[in-house]
Amino acid sequence: MIAVTGKVYLIGAGPGDPGLLTLKAVRVLKKADAVLYDRLMNREILTLARKDAELIDVGKAPDNHPVPQHRINEILLEKALKGMTVVRLKGGDPFVFGRGSEEALYLTERGVPVEVVPGVTSAIAVPAYAGVPVTHRGISSSFHVITGSDGCGERADWDSLSRLKGTLIFLMGVKNLESIVSNLLKYGKPADTPAAMIMWGATPAQKTVTGTLADIVRRVKEAGIKNPAVFVVGGTVGLWEYLNWFEGKPLHGRRILVTGTIDAEKGQPEDGPFDFLEDAGAEVIHCPTVKIEFDYGETAGFLANAGDLNLLVFTSKNAVTAFAGAMRRMRLDLRRLGGATVAAVGRKTAERLEEVFIYPDLVPEEFTSKDLLEKIPAGGGGKRTAAVITSDIGGQELVGGLEARGYRVMKIAAYKNLPNYDVRERLIEELGKGVDAAVFTSPSSFYRMEQMVGKLPEKLKKVFIAAIGPTTAAAIEKTGLKVDVCPKEHTLEGLQKALLEKFVGRGEGDGGNKKAQEIEI
């Protein structure tokens, strides 16, 4: 037998809502070297993987298998034999009509260690998100899960199924719905039995059609229901009228594109969470258009020749991280700063400074460069020196403002602000599907998106545009676009509240993060 050092994890990702992922699944995903994922996977789950992990799309649609099952098995084996930690990420649960057992047997027979991380199956979660319990005292004391795919009519014991008093749940049964209903009726299921078809369950695109076995086929066709969908038959469907909690959320069906920045250390979106909007039912699509790359050279040069400095300004938390990294590499400590006054543009920048034991003297309440400049004393006609720690494209307003106040100013480009081409294809795909709102957390997030996909004034002309503050709004409106939302409080919290007010006429989202989070260039 071949000695194997790698391992394969079969992980169930649930039916759509990334919040249904288990804690163990998250832990394993974060350490995986390679991730093979399905077509119906929520893309937000993939952001949990390491930034250097290999992501392989092996998705299959009904009657369309670009990567056949035997090839998926081979890829899993190849990666494991290289000593890699491999995740096979499957919708729902791996062992509920997910072919997970086939993959596990294939690997086990070849000496590859396999571990299964169960997921929330769509058979239970999707009806629950539609307000249809699979059991209920006095109505249904059991539930039965049946494949609705090709061959269902040949394999199913319709006589037994039709006589069951419990809830019947057919997965992926849209194509064969007429056959399923016809057989249930043929073998004695009453025509007035409640039935429901739930499309894209547990996602913001969820749509539920209810009726009875007598009319559900017609209703499903009229509603344009397609796979993925779950078909539920039984008395508990009647509770949908009272328990339909998910589709009644104020932002259900809204798609909100969030740009922003990739965290330079974690490789994940740093502009979040967007709890307010997600709790209100919106689909929040994270496509960070800015990629940060630390450049310690210029900061190290500044530290080596800092001399007497009167004012040190940090424009973002990335500036702090880059500055602290340069000090660590040079084995310098806080004594290097002398008696300089330290200023931070925004609360998050101040918090990052405190993490490295630098406590800022000046933090503007409005989180803007203009507000900070108003708090800084005059520079004495060039007698005082200042350094602005910022990005390669940032800091112009601060540098100019400080010079106008009489300071001799050095701009230190501590990091590079680059377009995040990793999200380009997804950006194009999501814009093609259509979005209701686009959120920009800095001028850079807008510029980089335009750089990657082009023609934003045309692509976003029918989209609500939200900007975190006036500087970002001004940059967007220079292109001819109209900014619909710009909160008084220039934070992610303020931005979410403003979007809620715009869409539903009031601030909602009590489940959101109460801690303000500002984003700077």
pLDDT of 520 reads 38
Angle, helices 69-81/100-109, rounded to nearest 10 degrees: 40
Encoding tokens for residue 459?
A: 């692509």
3-state secondary structure of 130: coil
> What is the torsional sign of CA 421, 462, 492, 455?
positive
Taking the C-alpha atoms of residue 38 and residue 309, their distance in angstroms, rounded to an integer, is: 56
| Long-range contact set of residues 241-246: C-beta below 8 Å, sequence gap at least 24 | 242/131, 243/131, 243/132, 243/133, 244/130, 244/131, 244/208, 245/131, 246/129, 246/130, 246/131, 246/202, 246/206, 246/281
Asked if 224 and 252 count as a contact pair (C-beta separation under 8 A), the reply is no
How is domain 293-417 classified at the architecture level of CATH? 3-Layer(aba) Sandwich (3.40)
Taking the C-alpha atoms of residue 514 and residue 384, their distance in angstroms, rounded to an integer, is: 39
Q: Which helix (H) or strand (E) holds 469?
A: none
Taking the C-alpha atoms of residue 172 and residue 150, their distance in angstroms, rounded to an integer, is: 10
Task: Identify the DSSP state of 22.
Answer: -
Residue type, 331: R
Asked if 121 and 92 count as a contact pair (C-beta separation under 8 A), the reply is yes
Asked if 230 and 123 count as a contact pair (C-beta separation under 8 A), the reply is yes
Strands 229-233 and 167-171: antiparallel
Domain 255-289+420-504 top-level CATH class: alpha beta
Per-residue pLDDT of the chain (521 residues; tens, 9 = 90+): 455 579 999 999 999 899 999 999 999 999 999 999 997 788 889 989 998 999 999 976 555 557 899 999 999 999 999 999 999 999 999 999 989 999 999 999 999 999 999 999 999 999 999 999 999 999 999 999 999 876 565 567 899 999 999 999 999 889 999 999 999 999 999 999 999 999 999 998 899 999 999 999 999 999 999 999 999 999 999 999 999 999 999 999 899 999 988 876 666 666 666 888 888 999 999 999 999 999 888 999 888 887 788 899 999 889 999 999 999 999 988 888 888 899 998 888 999 999 999 999 998 876 677 778 888 888 777 788 999 999 999 888 899 999 998 999 999 999 999 999 989 999 999 999 999 999 999 899 999 999 999 888 889 989 999 999 888 999 999 999 999 999 988 778 888 888 888 888 644 333 333 333 333 33
- DSSP strands (E only) in 400-445: 407-419, 437-440
Question: Is the bond into 15 cis (omega within 30 degrees of 0)?
Answer: no
How is domain 124-243 classified at the architecture level of CATH? 2-Layer Sandwich (3.30)
Taking the C-alpha atoms of residue 92 and residue 115, their distance in angstroms, rounded to an integer, is: 16
pLDDT of 155 reads 65
Catalytic center residues = 38, 60, 172
Matching residue, tokens 């108003």: 374
Encoding tokens for residue 437?
A: 């709102």
Encoding tokens for residue 181?
A: 């209903």
pLDDT of 480 reads 93
Domains 7-120 and 124-243 share a fold: no
Taking the C-alpha atoms of residue 325 and residue 80, their distance in angstroms, rounded to an integer, is: 36
pLDDT of 506 reads 46
Q: Is 169 left (phi over 0), alpha (psi -120 to 50) or beta?
A: beta
pLDDT of 519 reads 37
The CATH homologous superfamily to which domain 7-120 belongs is Tetrapyrrole methylase, N-terminal domain (3.40.1010.10)
The domain locations on the chain are 7-120, 124-243, 255-289+420-504, 293-417
3-state secondary structure of 146: strand
Strands 229-233 and 194-199: antiparallel
Centroid of chain to Cα 60: 22
